[in-house]
Amino acid sequence: SAVISQKPSRDICQRGTSLTIQCQVDSQVTMMFWYRQQPGQSLTLIATANQGSEATYESGFVIDKFPISRPNLTFSTLTVSNMSPEDSSIYLCSGGAGGLVGYTFGSGTRLTVV
Amino acid sequence: GENVEQHPSTLSVQEGDSAVIKCTYSDSASNYFPWYKQELGKRPQLIIDIRSNVGEKKDQRIAVTLNKTAKHFSLHITETQPEDSAVYFCAASIPPGNQFYFGTGTSLTVIP
């Protein structure tokens, strides 16, 4: 299965600023997704990162706040824009071949907004 | 999206006993159900999965069962060991996007 490298692993940011998180996959994958996980809670899907086109966002998430890029089949970025303390969370990417198989996850980015 | 409920939220068992975690889903179109284990501070790891055309799947000490009619599926861990202690998440996948929607998680503690 694919191995996903994610960076940064953690960051502390000032409110009003933006942070871009990167995920690099060691092989081409059809599907990539971005999740948010509050400490001790479940994973909430933010969006599907579509290669070469706009991401597909879940209810409650918008492109202006969480712009996503996916220029090729091995790389994606998530930007958290105009951050507020409520954006403090762990952000994870995941990816895989798609279809009826499991996806692997990146190691996560722990974001703290002060 | 899909709504996945998971019970219990916490579970403590004695080493050697069995543990069962149950999930229900809402969308009958869901066709794939993975289970993930997440240790503290680490990324979720896939431990077992089941497709909608299968009723049961086993892999050593873990098994998953699926009841499509009732829209629920369960994770069974037998002969639990302390290293099984972690948070377990179920998920459901809906075609064609194949996104995973996760349950709320179960914190399993195996007491030596």
| pLDDT tens-digit map of A56-92 | 999 999 999 999 999 999 999 999 999 999 999 999 9
In the predicted structure, residue B69 carries a pLDDT above the cut 90: yes
**What is the pLDDT, as a whole number, of residue B11?**
98
For residues B24 and B27, what is the distance between their CA atoms, to the nearest angstrom? 10
- Nearest CB among B51, B89, B100 relative to A103 is that of B100
- Nearest CB among A31, A43, A58 relative to B98 is that of A31
For residue B51, list chain A residues with Cβ-Cβ distance below 8 A: 100
Q: How is residue B33 annotated by DSSP?
A: E
Tell me the mean pLDDT in the region B57-79: 97
- Of chain B, the percentage scoring pLDDT greater than 90 comes to 92
* Longest distance between any two alpha carbons in chain A, whole Å: 41
State which amino acid sits at residue A35: Y
For residues A15 and B74, what is the distance between their CA atoms, to the nearest angstrom? 42
For residues A103 and A50, what is the distance between their CA atoms, to the nearest angstrom? 15
Query: Tokens 């794939």 appear where?
Result: B32
Residues of B numbered 69-108 whose beta carbons fall under 8 angstroms of chain A's beta carbons: which are they? 89, 93, 97-105
Beta-carbon contacts of B5 under 8 Å, excluding residues fewer than 6 positions away, are B23, B24, B25, B103, B104
**Structure token digits, residue B58:** 């086993």
Query: What mean pLDDT, rounded, does chain B reach?
Result: 96
Query: Can you give A10-40 as a three-state secondary structure string?
Result: EEEECCCCCEEEEEEECCCCCEEEEEEECCC
H-helix segments, A36-98:
none
Answer yes or no: do A100 and B93 touch at CB < 8 A.
yes
Count of beta carbons in the 10 Å neighbourhood of residue A71: 10
| pLDDT tens-digit map of A105-114 | 999 999 999 9
Question: CA nearest B99: which of B38, B27, B41, B6?
Answer: B27
Question: CA nearest A108: which of B45, B46, B54, B79?
Answer: B45
**Distance between the two ends of chain A, CA-based, in angstroms?**
37
- Nearest CB among A43, A100, A107 relative to B89 is that of A43
Q: How is residue A51 annotated by DSSP?
A: T
Which of B4, B49, B98 is most worth mutating to test chain A (most A CB atoms within 10 A of its CB)? B98
**Structure token digits, residue B43:** 């990324």
State which amino acid sits at residue B78: T
